[in-house]
Structure 1
Amino acid sequence: MTVVRVSRRREMAALFSGVACMNIAMAGASTAGVLIATGSPGPGWSGVPSAAGVLGTAAGALGSARLVAAHGHRRSLLTTYGIGSLGALLAAAGAITGLFPVLLAGLLVLGLGNGGAQLSRYAAADLYPAERKGRALSAIVWAGTVGALAGPPLIAPAAHTADVLGLPGLAGPLLVAALVTAVAAVASAALPRSKPDVQPETRAYTGFAAAFARPAVRGPLLAMVAAQVAMVAMMTMSAPQLHQHGHGLEVVGWTLTAHMIGMFALAPVSGRIADRWGGRAAIFAGIGTLAVASAAAMTAPTSHTTGIPLSLFLLGYGWNLVFVGGSSLLSKQARKLQGTVDAVVWSTSALAGLAAGPLFALGGYVLVAAVAGITALVPLAVLTRS
C-alpha cells in the first residue's frame, strides 16, 4: 500500500508540475498575442491570437487522447509539451519580425501542448476510486493557481528584459512561454512508462456525433462549452479594455492574476462539491456565478480596482465549477469521449475569441459581457430537462 501511495504521489506531482508550467506559458503568450494584435493589425483582430491558441488546444486534446490510447500518458505529454515549446519559439519569432501570421502559427502550435495538459486531469482521476475522482482531478486543475500567481506578473519584467536585449518588448513573454513549456516536458519525463489505456485494434471511433448522442454527455458538454465561451470572450477583451483606458502591463498583469486565481485556486472546493453533491450541482452553481460575473462587468466596466477584477474573479470561479463538475461526470461515464469533449469545448470557444474582437469594436466591453452572460445561461434549458 505504501508503494502504491508513493507511486501515486510521484505521478500526481509530475502531472501537477506540467499543468502549472503550461498555464504560466499560456497566460503570458495569450496576453502578449492580444496586445500585439490590438496595436497592429488593430482592435478588430484582437481576439484572433487567443482563438489560435484555443484551436491548437482543441487539436492537442484530440491528438493527445489518441497518443494516450496508443502509448500512455508519459509519451503523450512528452510529445505535446515538446511541440508546444517549439510553437512558443515560433510565436516569439513572429513578434520579433512583425509577421502576424507567424505569431498566429506559433500560438496555434503552443496550444497543442496545452491540449495535452488539459487531459492530465483525467489521468489524475484514474489514479483514485470513484468517490475521490472529483478531488483528484480538481487537484490538477488547482495547478493553474501557480500559473495565476506566476504567469501574468511575469509579463512586464519579461517585456522589460526583451527591451534591454534590443528585442520588441512583447516578444519577452513568448520566450518565457517557450522556456516553461520545455520545463513541463522535463517534468512529464518523471511519469512511469505506462501501457496503453486501450489496445489500438479494439479502440472504438469516438467522434463528435458520439459525444452528442449520449444524454449523459450532452448536458455536461453543453455546459462546459457555454462556460468556456463566456470565459474566453470576457477574459480576452479585458486586456484591450484596460489598455484603452490608459493602464499599463502591470495593471493588466495583476487583473489577469485575479481572474486566474478564480479559475484555479478554489478547484479543491469545486471537487468536494462534485464528490458530495454531484457534478450537476457544481455545474448549476457555476452557471449562476458566471451570470453574476457578467452583471458585475456591465455595472463597472471601467473600474480597474473593483469592477473588472471582481468580475474576472467570479468569471474564473464560475468556469471552474462548471469545468470540474462536468469533468467529474465524464471521468465516471465517458472515458473514451474525454478527448473528444475537450476538443469540442476548446474548438467552440475559439469562436468566442474570434467574435469577441468585433463585439468589442462594436459595443465595447459591456456588450461582450452581456453576450457572455446570456451564453452561460443557455445550457439551463437542457440541464433542467435531463
Structure 2
Amino acid sequence: MNENFKMVATTMFGLEEALETELKNLGAQEVKPGVRNVSFRGDKGFMYKANIALRTAIRILKPIKTFKVFDEEDLYEGLQKINWEKYMSADSTFAIGAVVNSKFFTTNSHYISLKSKDSIADYFRHKYHKRPNVDVKHPDVRIHVHIQKETCTISLDSSGDSLHKRGYRTSTNIAPINEVLAAGLVLLSGYDGHSNFIDPMCGSGTILIEATMIACNIPANINRPEFGFEKWDDYDEDLYFKIQDSLLKKIVNPQFKIMGFDKAPSAVRKANDNIKSANLSEFVAVHHVNFFNSVKEVFGSTTILFNPPYGERLNIDTEEFYKKIGDTLKHGYPDSKVWFITSDIQALKYVGLKTSRRIPLKNGDLDCRFVRYDMYAGSRKAKKNPIED
C-alpha cells in the first residue's frame, strides 16, 4: 500500500489560492498555501494525479531532506549525508535547479546548482569511483534545491519539464501568455463552463484552450509526452494509467459557446493550429474579427477574458487603445463579466468603466492587475450589485 508523504506544488505569484482550491478539489490532504507554492500530502497515485490534472502548478516537488545551512560548506556536507542510492545510481543522469532567498548566500542560484552538483557527483565518485553525468534536457532525476533563510530543502522534481509545457502549443505569437497563467486567469474569473466564453484578442489561442479544457474537465497535462517520475525506479506504470483513465472518464462536452477573435489572419491560423493540436477543434470557434468593430452575438451570460498588448508587446496609443476597449464593451457587450490582465495599470483610467475587482498578479517580471468589469443587460442602476473588494 502506498503511504502518504509531503509534496510541494510551485506556482506563480497570485495563483496560490487558485492552486489551493484545485488541490482540495482533487483530494489532497493537509493543504497549506505559501508564497508561490502550496504544500500538501498524498500518496504516489496522487502525485501522478497532481501532475496530470493541476492547471496552476508549475512543478510537483517531493522533499527528501531538510537541513540548516549558513554557508556553501554546509550545503556541500548536507548533500553528502543523503543516501542518494535510494534515488539514482552512478549510471544515472541528473540535473539540478535551485532557488535561494537567504542573507547567508550572496551567490546566485546557478552557482548553488553547481555546488550541489559537485557534492552529489563526489558522493558517487568516493563510493563507486564513478560519477553520474549531468543532462540538463532529459535527466533521469531532477533535483530541486531550495534555500529559505537558513533552511535548505532538497526535493525530487516529479514533473520534469515545467508543467506549463502542456504539449499542445505548436505555433506562437510575440510574447505568448504562459499556459499556467492563462489557466489561472480563467479559474480566477470564476468561469467553469456554465456560460459563454469569448477571448476577443486571442492571439495564438492559449487562453481559449485552457478555458475549453476547464469547461470540458479535460486534465491540463493530458497532452504532455512525459513526466519526470516516469524515470524513477519506483514508477508504477499500471497505477499511472489507472489514474489517467479515471480522469479521462470525467470529461464532459461544453454546453455553451466558446469563441475567440483576432484581427490578424496569422494569429487566427496559429490559434486554430494549437486548438487542433489540443484535440479541441469541435468545441472552439476562432474568427477573423477586429474586437473594436464587434458586438456580442451570443445570447445570455458571457465571460469575456483577454490579454491585450502591454509591456514588451506595447506598440499602441495607450489612451486611444484602452478607451476603445471601454467603448466597445459599453456599446456592444451587455450581460457580460469582462476580465483582462495588464501591466499598464495607469492606462486603466482610460477604459472609462469602474472595476469591480482588481487582483495583483505577475506575468514574468511584470507587475500586473487582473481586472473585472460588469456589463449589464439593462439599466445599470436597476441591476447594480455591491462592488466587490
* TM norm. shorter chain > 0.5: no
Q: TM-score, normalised by structure 1?
A: 0.21
Q: Normalising by structure 2, what TM-score? A: 0.21
Per residue, is there more strand in 1 or in 2? 2
Asked which structure has the greater RCO (Cα within 8 Å, sep 6+), the reply is 1
